[in-house]
Amino acid sequence: MTAADGEAGRIRTVSAELGLPGIIDIHTHFMPKAMLDKVWAYFDGVGPLTGSTWPIAYRFDEERRLEILRSFGVLRFTSLSYPHKPGMAVWLNSWSRDFAAGHSDVISSATFYPESGVGAYVRDAIDRGVQVFKAHVQVGAYDPNDPHLDEVWGLLQESAVPVVIHGGHGPAPGRFTGPDGMDALLARFPRLVAVIAHLGMPDYGRFLDLAERHEGVHLDTTMAFTDFSEARSPFPASERNRLVDLGAKVLFGSDYPNIPYPYVHAVESIVRLDLGEEWARGVLHDNAARLLGGPGRG
């Protein structure tokens, strides 16, 4: 028995009941095997950081992981990768570009790091038609307001290409994580199309504030509302109405394959909030379709 057994039917039932063709997942990870192995090794030892074990639910080879995601009726998904030191981003972007070219349902993804030449390779990725960037402040251990990145944020702001930013303290804090850094960044680049990963966990309220103040700021639901996160960083019931008010700015994310529970639980956690079918439809499909554009998988 694997984590995927029996899930596809339940997930497709959720989509059908909401009148959706399927799901768009803004926060999934596909990357070179050597790098993914290191990511999994990190999660295998992450217990001391989070206070609990973190079993990888979908520890399969790449083809099997793709097959599982498609069996769930996930129409489009990202291949978010992220460097932790200089000199990695160009290689990762090349791999991600080839990966997207070989799979029509992959949302073309790229990344960057505060280093010499970063503006040139980000501009190149934009010129090649990349659809989403990933910035990981925690793993990269960099200040999002590092001067090396000023050109990058300017390019992203002008191009309106979304960037999924892991800038919050959860699930584990980093040297430069937290809402203050994101607040300062958006004060300087107020039109940036930023998707705040994990709803900014655990500082949900502060990141909801940013989404309310800045037209381009969105939030993804990655790991939020699941039993795993509710036991550690519960989303305040008092803030739920703000999620409804934000409407089109909330996008579904899963962190697949690096999650310690079944994918279906993440999907059902959205529905069980009971914020209305229109809101759930938007989160699971419509909001990302509108933000990213382009066709889904039939």
Burial 15-39 (b: 16+ CB within 10 A, else e): beebebebbbbbbbbbbbeebbeeb
CB 3 within 8 A of CB 10: no
Instruction: Output the pLDDT for position 171.
Output: 81
How many helices (H) and strands (E) the chain has is answered by 15, 9
Cβ neighbourhood burial of 268 (10 Å; 0-12, 13-18, 19+): middle
If you ran DSSP here, which 8-state letter would residue 246 be given? Answer: H
> In the predicted model, what is the mean pLDDT of residues 107-118?
98
CB 150 within 8 A of CB 120: no
Structure tokens at 62: 């790449």
User: 57-61, 82-86, 118-122, 172-176: which range is least confident on average?
Assistant: 172-176
CATH class of the domain comprising 7-292? alpha beta
Q: How far apart are CA 66 and CA 44, in angstroms?
A: 22
Residues 197-243 have pLDDT tens digits of 999 999 999 999 999 999 999 999 999 999 999 999 999 999 999 99
List the alpha helices (DSSP H) in 112-218: 118-127, 137-140, 150-159, 179-188, 204-213
Q: How far apart are CA 252 and CA 111, in angstroms?
A: 20
Instruction: Output the pLDDT for position 90.
Output: 98
* Percentage of residues in the chain having pLDDT higher than 70: 95
Residues 261-270 have pLDDT tens digits of 999 999 999 9
- Domain segments of the chain as ranges: 7-292
Give yes or no for residue 48 having a pLDDT over 80.
no
> In the predicted model, what is the mean pLDDT of residues 120-130?
98
CA 177 to the chain's CA centroid: 16
Q: What global pTM score does this model have?
A: 0.95
Residues 278-298 have pLDDT tens digits of 999 999 999 999 999 854 332
State the maximum Cα–Cα separation within the chain, in Å, rounded to a whole number: 50
Residues 15-45 have pLDDT tens digits of 999 999 999 999 999 999 999 999 999 898 8
Spell out the long-range contacts of 67-71 with Cβ–Cβ below 8 A and sequence spacing 24 or more: 68/4, 68/263, 69/25, 69/28, 69/256, 69/263, 70/105, 70/297, 71/4, 71/8
> In the predicted model, what is the mean pLDDT of residues 143-163?
98
User: 47-61, 64-78, 265-279: which range is least confident on average?
Assistant: 47-61
Structure tokens at 157: 């702001």
If you ran DSSP here, which 8-state letter would residue 172 be given? Answer: S
Instruction: Output the pLDDT for position 1.
Output: 38
Cβ neighbourhood burial of 98 (10 Å; 0-12, 13-18, 19+): exposed
> In the predicted model, what is the mean pLDDT of residues 57-86?
97
